[in-house]
Amino acid sequence: MARILSDNNNLLHSWSFYKTINENILSSLLVEKLNLLILGTSDTNKLILVDTSENYKIITDYRITNVEDTTDSFASVLCMESHEDKYLFVGCSDSLIRVYKIASSSLQLLHTIYSTMDVGDILSLKYLDQYDTLVIGTQRCCLLYVTDLLKSSKTTGPSAEINLTESAIADENDHINRLPSKRYDKFFDSIGPTGNKSTVSSRSLSNATQDDNTFQSMNIIQVPKENIVNFAHNGFIYCMDTYFDEKDCTHPTQYLITSAGDGLTKRWVMEDNCLYLKNIIDINDDITGYGFSDDEEEKENDAVISQFIKFPLLFQGISDMRINVISLLTDRLIETINLSELNVFDDHLSKDESLPHAIKASSNNDNILFIAANDNVYQYNLDEDEENDITDQKLSRRGSLVSDTKIIPFIRSIRSEVNSQILNICIDGNKLSVLESDGNVYLFDLSDTLKCNTQKSLLNEDDILALNQKNNTDENDPNHNSETLIKDLSKFISFKTTADNKQQIHSCASYLHTLLKKLHSTVEIFPNSLNGTPVLKATFHANNEHLANNSKNILIYAHYDVVPSSVSDSEFHLFVKDGFLQGRGVSDNKGPIISMIHGISELHDAKKLNNNVVFIFEGCEEIGSIGFEETLKSHLELQEKFDYIIMSNSYWIGNKYPCLNYGMRGVLNLQISVEGKRDLHSGTDGGIFSETTKDLMFLMSNLIDYKNNTLNVPGFVEDSETQDLCKDETRFFNDIIATGEGNVTLETLIHKWTKPSFSITSMNGSFEQSIVPKEANVTLSIRTVPTQKSVSCLKKLITEKIQNDFKILNSDNKLKLQVLNEAEPWLGDFKDRIYKIASEELKSVWKNDVLLIREGGSIPTLKILERMHPTAKIMILPNGQASDNAHLQGEKFRLENFFNLKTCVKNIVNRL
């Protein structure tokens, strides 16, 4: 958690423009608000521009607080945008857009832009530098855009004529006469209640100081009619931001995101000098788990007042004090932060006045946003504070956990007026400027807050050289040498991709997408059909010219989510110590992902890839791969025909011998709950009412066969379903015992790998010795084997057994059965050539015998992929050692395993 910046040591300077501020401008905060913009605060350029509605104020040096007046603005400035600290775009309430060139201590007016259509106030601006185009959002709900705006200005200076084709009209007098202030206005120039027309319009009076000669000394640009997008929104267009889509790393596409009073978000793209709508992001058209809950009444979208893009996340300030977080990868709402439910705001403002006017962040730091809302600026830490107990957190309206300590006051202790509101903020580098409604401007130093915890080099030069030599890696290859792999893994580990951290899940998927593109694969992203979590598909096409016609299709599955850490944020930093990589997910499954994609990319870059390789990465494996099968079925792009499937998430049985896995047990996790009407007291209510705990114990005693250590469910295990080990498996098991790996016996392996089991994993009720709880529940984890009936059949048998037993009780309580997750068992064909080839390659790399093993755990995606691709041969390729502590504190992955996996995967894939 960052330190609260409430002391004056971080305040560089403050200025007051109270006497020059037009008080009328404060009447409508949604439309008219004071503006400020940091144009640069480096040693060579220290400019802060402040609009006071009467004129611009330029603070030329914040150390000496020098304030200079500039040319009158003639109208209230409603939005400002700068480009490279060289050009300034200003949108005003007079429907004009002014373009300035920024000098050392002044502004040179280059162009004035207008439209023949009455567009009202100019509410937002965005310059698309890739297309040299200025896009303008208006009060009339339309978008205007001017192309090739700065091209001539950059080369020939402000006095040059701009070739804008139809944008410019030769006769400057025609331009002046067509300006909004010269045109008839139905409102201002209409006949009033007296029946007489005013001889001088109000607008003319407000612009009395404006001289026509001013316009004649500059280029006046008329927006062409074809460059006007009518009804771009059905509300005032308050927000515009851009981002680059790096699907094509060589020529990334710049997209424009607009948001408005209609609550809609739209994505636009420039093609052939025209602005086209690509799609609408409507978060009300959402999915269960991310949007409205089943019992929550859907309502109209709230107006979007402010927004900020930290790709792939879009943060939007909503008019009812919410911050919506939208993924631009999947166009889904992934989290809502309800600011009004966090105890950080003062109560003297009404709800209508409590608006998140601005959301900003520094490019120097990925973890902190600054929100201007109410009477303060609030610092929002994007990272979860792992040290905070869950009881210190509040539940937002859409169900996301948000800690009070993630949002902290920033400048409360130095405020001059209690009732003064923050109207705007701006960040440039490590400087934050703040403008409040009483005319005060503050400039803060953010150096301490934005100080990144940069890690030292994970390996020294000698270590890197030794690793490159040992792993036959070309140290001069910047894409695939040992240092690059570890740097990529370090960044990958830093994302806290737990199931409840939606922001980090999507940010991690974006990083993985960029990395895969950098490694020259074709990447596609699909939202999980049930919860929107990104599923990535990366394809490396065979490019060995000698074998191109005989290529096989190989699918490699892995996951980028991790189990939560109960320790600290240090679990999400990569460390290298004593020959091991350490960090959350380093063994399961992020380390293997980095190793494998670099291995295949290395073959591809050398044009030696014999087979087509498709990677599928999901972000829900640790919570049972929910929605994964539905996602595969709903996208034809994910339904290719594969010859082989390799699963990467498994472990050796010990620490010395490499392994291949050919079998997993299934799982059925079931919660049994008994619920009454209220808590009961054992003294006053005991023996009178049906008790939840007694009912639950009765059900459990009837369900469990303690003598035979199984479930007392007819059909759970039939005699015909029990089989002895075949000769091959007996040999595999004896080979394992002979090595001493895992310190296991034959009986232990047989029971752990080939027999069903059940465990009671949790029991919940009352914590008071004399209270009978309103609800009591128990959770069972039932493991199944391939020789039993399917998990779906067993689920039906078990639930029917419990329900029938509960009927015997004739209890007043209610029974609830909930399947938490399930997975079918799997048994592979260890005689197939994929196991033969893999065994040979592992033995060649590790110089040791290879053990064939099964596991007692479960992987839901095994049977999912088997059902989707019934003709494909599946193999599990374990990566880490038994001592890796996967899912536990101190998770690690041996460097030797990390690099050898890369070599093994390359060799196996090319031989299949």
Whether residues 597 and 689 share a domain: the answer is no
Whether residues 852 and 886 share a domain: the answer is yes
Residue 787 is part of which domain span? 666-717+756-823
Which pair of structure tokens corresponds to residue 699?
């059900």
What is the SS3 assignment for 785? coil
Whether residues 774 and 872 share a domain: the answer is no
Euclidean distance between the first and the last CA atom of the chain, given in angstroms as a whole number: 50
Whether residues 848 and 781 share a domain: the answer is no
Closest alpha carbon to 556 in 107, 818, 186, 902 = 902
- CA dist 748 and 733 (Å) reads 10
Identify any residues that bridge with 56 across adjacent strands, giving them in sequence order: 51
Cα angle for residues 831, 835, 839 (degrees, 5° grid): 125
Note the helical H segments in 565-660: 590-605, 628-634
pTM over 0.95: no
What total number of domains does the chain contain?
Answer: 2
- CA dist 685 and 772 (Å) reads 9
Find where tokens 């989290």 sit. 335
Q: Which residues of the chain have pLDDT under 70?
A: 1-9, 17-74, 104-106, 152-178, 181-218, 246-250, 285-300, 341-354, 363-366, 383-420, 451-476, 548, 566-569, 719-722
Query: Which tens digit of pLDDT belongs to each residue from 165-202?
Result: 444 444 555 656 567 766 656 555 556 566 565 554 44
Query: Which tens digit of pLDDT belongs to each residue from 292-315?
Result: 344 444 456 789 999 999 999 999
CATH number at residue 655: 3.40.630.10
Domain-located, residue 577 = yes
Closest alpha carbon to 498 in 399, 564, 558, 559 = 564
Whether residues 595 and 651 share a domain: the answer is yes
**Exposure of 494 by Cβ count < 10 A (0-12 exposed, 13-18 middle, 19+ buried)?**
buried
- CA dist 645 and 559 (Å) reads 15
**Exposure of 787 by Cβ count < 10 A (0-12 exposed, 13-18 middle, 19+ buried)?**
middle
Query: Which tens digit of pLDDT belongs to each residue from 825-852?
Result: 999 999 999 999 999 999 999 999 999 9
What is the SS3 assignment for 241? strand
Residue that terminates a domain, selected from 784, 802, 823: 823
Which pair of structure tokens corresponds to residue 763?
């029991």
Domain-located, residue 810 = yes
Residues 6+ apart with CB under 8 A from 406: 1, 380, 381, 384, 385
Residues 6+ apart with CB under 8 A from 261: 30, 233, 234, 235, 236, 237, 238, 303, 304
What is the SS3 assignment for 49? strand
Whether residues 673 and 564 share a domain: the answer is no
Find where tokens 């025609």 sit. 174
What is the SS3 assignment for 552? coil
Q: How many Å is the maximal CA-CA distance in the chain? A: 108
Whether residues 685 and 819 share a domain: the answer is yes
- CA dist 371 and 351 (Å) reads 16
Model pLDDT, residue 480: 80
- CA dist 566 and 890 (Å) reads 11
Whether residues 471 and 590 share a domain: the answer is yes
Closest alpha carbon to 435 in 378, 362, 372 = 372
Please name the amino acid found at residue 161. E
- CA dist 415 and 422 (Å) reads 10
For residue 120, the 8-state DSSP code is -
CB 713 within 8 A of CB 797: yes
What is the SS3 assignment for 794? helix
Strands 66-72, 55-61: pairing kind: antiparallel
Helix (H) or strand (E) holding 125: strand 122-128
- CA dist 298 and 289 (Å) reads 14
CATH number at residue 817: 3.30.70.360
Helix (H) or strand (E) holding 77: strand 77-83
Note the helical H segments in 762-871: 791-809, 833-846, 860-868
Whether residues 625 and 679 share a domain: the answer is no
- CA dist 97 and 122 (Å) reads 7
Domain-located, residue 878 = yes
Closest alpha carbon to 90 in 127, 60, 61 = 127
Domain-located, residue 889 = yes
Whether residues 636 and 671 share a domain: the answer is no
Residue that terminates a domain, selected from 776, 791, 823: 823
- Phi and psi, residue 640, nearest 5°: -65, 160
Domain-located, residue 521 = yes
Whether residues 655 and 708 share a domain: the answer is no
- CA dist 348 and 556 (Å) reads 58
Whether residues 488 and 526 share a domain: the answer is yes
- Phi and psi, residue 693, nearest 5°: -70, -40
Domain-located, residue 22 = no
Find where tokens 């029971």 sit. 751
Virtual torsion, Cα 311, 317, 323, 326, nearest 10 deg: -30
